Chains A and B, each alone.
Chain A
Amino acid sequence: MLDLSQYQSIGAALKDALDRFAGEVCLIEADRDREKERLTYREFEERAHPLAKALQDKGFSMGDRASIIMTNQSRWLISAYAIFFAGGVLVPLDYKLTPDEQWQLLKHSGATVLITEYPIWRQLSASPGRASANVQTVLVTEAPANASLAHAQRWEEFRGAGEPAFVPRERGDTACIVYSSGTGGHPKGCMMTHENYLEQCVALTSIYPFWPGVRYLSILPTNHAIDFMVGFFGPFTCGAAVVHLRTLRPEYVREAFPKYKITYVSLVPLVLKNLQKGLQARFDALSGGKRKIFNTLVAVNKALTKGRPRLGVSRLLLKQVHEAFGGELRTIIVGGAFTEPQTLQFFYDLGIPVANGYGLTEAGTAITVNDLKPFRADTVGKPLPGMEVRIVNPAGDGIGEVAVRSKTVMAGYLNDPELTAETIVDGWLMTGDLGKLDRHGHLQLSGRKKNMIVTEEGKNIYPEDTESVFEGLRVKEFCVFAANYIWPKRSMTGEQLVLVLHLEAGQQFSDELRREINTRNQRLLNYKRIHGVVLLEEDFPRTASLKIKRNVLAERLAKLDRGAAVLPL
């Protein structure tokens, strides 16, 4: 691995990595059962440099912002490297957002370059939001030969002649603007510095190392902080390889493990639970005798791995299980949302450790992680090296707001000093999550203080971002809340949004109104939808500028009985 303490920027570290590991494979890309591409670090550089040169020829220079909206694939990483090489700031956006939402964030970020895939561009270019953004150069990958590109250029043909000039950046400079939310008019663009990534990479790889020969299966979107770190920057600075799948159908994901001898993979809890379900069904189908033998082997494995994982032993004892995962899998990294302890324990008992952790985009990927010394399913692990975690205003049971201080904490929110000041107080990032540290230094999460939910798919949903779809609803006023924010619950799972309605005088919650809410709700992506309605017969408290005082309103709503107050849709 490169000694990252010697580097000032992501670009400089990656540049050296491409030289150091030139002959190693860095990328494998497969579409269903077909391998599309396999690149060495040298070939990666040969693809990226002409792109960096072409960007520079177009006037792209230090500090300019370029956005990538792509599914996980080799061109994502090649483009990102070219942007860093040219001294640019990367704005990675979620390809699953709607075109309107993407344009909003493109506008907010100030990106002048957009690199995207043809199918995404087809939708983006047809969206009226385009006019508001300042995007001047659009590069589109894999466009069909006769496709109309709507003033975009083909990524494959956008190549400059000659060598690009490497543009150095400093540790404190912004490397990426990563949106942790903000598609409903309240963009939260986290300004992540080069130092944030360099320090996070050192901390994470000290516990979960990469080396040439390691293969990381990239499933979480690369715009997500976790995949950016463990599916790009981390493996690249260690000479490891990243495997991309162009389709994430469960059958192809399953096949990829043995086919590419995967070492690490990151999953969201939903996918991990699905894997558990599939494995459990196979175990349940074993005949009586086989099942008995299997259960005995699991019990022996549990006893032998009580203190620490012993991969060699587990692979020997539970050979078939490990072979289904390719026989090389060392750890499943799970993130993006809270994972239930029994799921973590299930995999650990099979000899497949799950690196469970806790993090926020604002803190640069991970704050705590299970170091497996020993494995514990009931916590999100201990703070990573270099992370200070403290509990603010703990109650009698030790539970309070989790605060973090480290070199991995963002510089602030783009164009929002007020929100930055609320979030980073005296150098401590206030996470809005509730938890406590136990006597072994493990963090146990127990709920949220902030008005948001996280789905099992790892999606952060802020209620305000869903409200625009209900604009114009024929009621006096409305507001969306995370139900657990109104009625605090010591739980990190099963979180839901509720729509609070104040009806007009004499108005009833009619079937017609319910239908209209349902229709509007369906316009939201499935994971953003509200799950119930709460009726309140009083005016919402508002500020002088007529903004809803959400915290005061939540206090009023809390007096209602949750079970009776939330009406199903």
Chain B
Amino acid sequence: MRTLEQTTREVLDLAAKHFQLPTGSLAPEDDFFKKLGIDSLQTLEMLSRLENHFGIELPDYEVQGVSDFKTLAERIQSRL
């Protein structure tokens, strides 16, 4: 079982890879809309990638209003 720290790290690494940013360039508290300049649709694409990686299904409502990696990682962790 992953710890929340591990999950958070994997979320950050995957998001960086998905948006072609250097590994380590994202922080847990980062607002991904602002930091990555992405829209809600691109966020959904990122979520699909995270779901595949973690082998979970994250309903749309679970990520409603979430805009930082830390909270996103917590939501993922709760479903692992």
Q: Which residues of A contact B (CB under 8 A)?
A: 32, 71, 95-96, 98, 117, 119-120, 246-251, 270-271, 274, 456-457, 522, 525-527, 529
Please report which residues of chain B, range 1-52, place their CB below 8 angstroms from some CB of chain A when the two chains form the complex: 31, 33-34, 39-41, 44-45, 47-48
Q: In the complex, what residues of B have CB within 8 A of residue A456's CB?
A: 39
Question: What are 9 contact pairs spanning A and B, CB under 8 A?
Answer: A71-B61, A95-B61, A95-B64, A246-B59, A248-B60, A250-B41, A522-B34, A526-B33, A526-B34
Chain B's closest residue to A97 (CB) is: B65
Bound Cα distance A32, B40 (Å): 18
Q: Lowest 5 CB-CB distances: which A-B pairs, in order?
A: A526-B33, A119-B61, A249-B44, A249-B48, A274-B41
Question: Do residues B44 and A98 form an inter-chain contact, with CB atoms below 8 A?
Answer: no
Contacts of A120 in B (CB 8 A): 61
Contact between chains at A119 and B41 (CB < 8 Å)? no
Interface residue B77 (Cβ < 8 Å from any Cβ of A): no
Rounded to whole angstroms, the CA-CA distance of A198 and B44 in the bound complex is: 36
Chain B positions within 8 Å of A71 at CB level: 60-61
Partner of B59, one of A119, A270, A526: A119
- Docked Cα-Cα span, A32 to B59, in Å, equals 10
State the CA gap A71–B57 with chains docked (Å).
17
- Residue on A nearest B68 in the bound complex, by CB: A522
Give the complex CA separation of A270 and B39 in angstroms.
9
Taking A274-B41, A526-B31 as known contacts, 7 extra A-B pairs with beta carbons closer than 8 A to each other, sorted by chain A number, are: A71-B61, A117-B61, A246-B59, A249-B44, A250-B45, A522-B34, A526-B67
- A251 and B48 contact, CB distance less than 8 A: yes
Q: How far is the CB of B55 from chain A (nearest CB, A)?
A: 14
A270-B39, A457-B39, A526-B40 given; A249·B59 CB < 8 A: no
Residues of A contacting B67 in the complex (Cβ-Cβ under 8 angstroms)? 522, 526
Neighbouring B residues of A247 by C-beta, 8 Å: 59-60
Given contacts A119-B59, A526-B67, contact A250 B33 (CB under 8 A): no
Contact assessment for A457 and B45 in the assembled complex, using a CB-CB cutoff below 8 Å: no
Alpha-carbon gap, A436 to B49, bound state (A): 46
Task: Give the CA-CA distance A251 to B41 in the complex, in Å.
Answer: 11
Complex: chain A residue closest to B33, CB-CB? A526
* Chain A neighbourhood of B68, CB < 8 A: 522
CB distance from B56 to the nearest CB of A (A): 12
Does the CB pair A270–B40 fall under 8 Å?
A: yes
**Chain A min CB distance to B10 (Å):** 20
A295 to chain B, nearest CB (A): 28
Beta-carbon contact of A98 and B65 below 8 Å = yes
In angstroms, Cα B51 to Cα A32, docked, is 12
Q: Which residues of B contact A119 (CB under 8 A)?
A: 59, 61-62
B64→A96 contact, CB < 8 A: yes
Give A266 to B4 CA distance when docked, in angstroms. Answer: 39
A248 to B40: give the CA distance in the assembly, Å. 11
Q: Which one of B33, B47, B57, B64 lies within 8 Å of A32 (CB-CB)?
A: B57
Identify the closest chain B residue to A99 (Cβ): B65
Give every chain A residue within 8 A of B62 (Cβ-Cβ).
119
Smallest Cβ-Cβ distance to A98: which chain B residue:
B65
What chain B residues lie within 8 Å of A529 (beta carbons)?
A: 34
Known contacts: A32-B57, A119-B59. The answer to whether A271 contacts B65 by CB under 8 A is no
**A457–B40 CB distance below 8 A:** yes
A523 (CB) vs chain B CBs: closest residue:
B67
B31 x A522 contact (CB < 8 A)? yes
Q: Which residues of A contact B65 (CB under 8 A)?
A: 96, 98, 525
* Cα–Cα, bound, A526→B57 (Å): 23
Q: A361 CB to closest chain B CB, in angstroms?
A: 21
Closest chain-A Cβ to B22's Cβ sits at a distance in Å of: 23
Closest to A274 in B: B41
- How long is the Cα–Cα vector from A96 to B43 in the complex, in angstroms? 15
Report Cα–Cα, A333/B65, bound state, in Å: 27
Q: In the bound complex, what is the Cα–Cα distance between A533 and B64 (angstroms)?
A: 27
A270 touches B61 (CB 8 A): no
User: A525 to chain B: which residues have CB within 8 Å?
Assistant: 65
B33 shortest CB reach to chain A, Å? 4
